[in-house]
Amino acid sequence: MDLVEVEITGQAITARYGTLSTGDIIRTDKAFADHLVNDCSVAKYSVAKVKKPAAPPVAPETKVKPKAVAAKAAAAPGGAPAGPLPADPPVVAPAADHGATGASADVCTDPPGGDPSDPPA
């Protein structure tokens, strides 16, 4: 998109740029600049009439030598070995004592029909 630079010579209230006052300079598309200059008579074209936006500079790629990467990985701070630490052993809860049955807490040990020592419902 080509940009046109205009200098505001009066006061204009626009949806795009808000309120523009004398001396403001904006860069906008050609159609809107033409509207401000010819239809509204609140702007004049600047000396630099048409400008194209500059392309962003492209940074050159840097290559890292494989030996340099391996040397950095081997030299860990404080002389500690490089690489991931060994995993902690899993934490296991001690087994609960369930008497002579050896049943775990999530196994029902009541006889079919319920426990005879329970009060009737």
Residue carrying structure tokens 């809860």: 93
Instruction: Please name the residue that has the structure tokens 């050896």.
Output: 102
Are the beta carbons of 7 and 32 closer than 8 angstroms?
no
State the pLDDT at residue 55: 65
Give me the pLDDT at residue 1, please.
74
Residue 94: what pLDDT?
62
pLDDT, mean of each 10-residue run, the chain (121 residues): 91 93 94 94 80 64 61 57 65 58 48 60 60
Tokens 């807490």, located at residue = 105
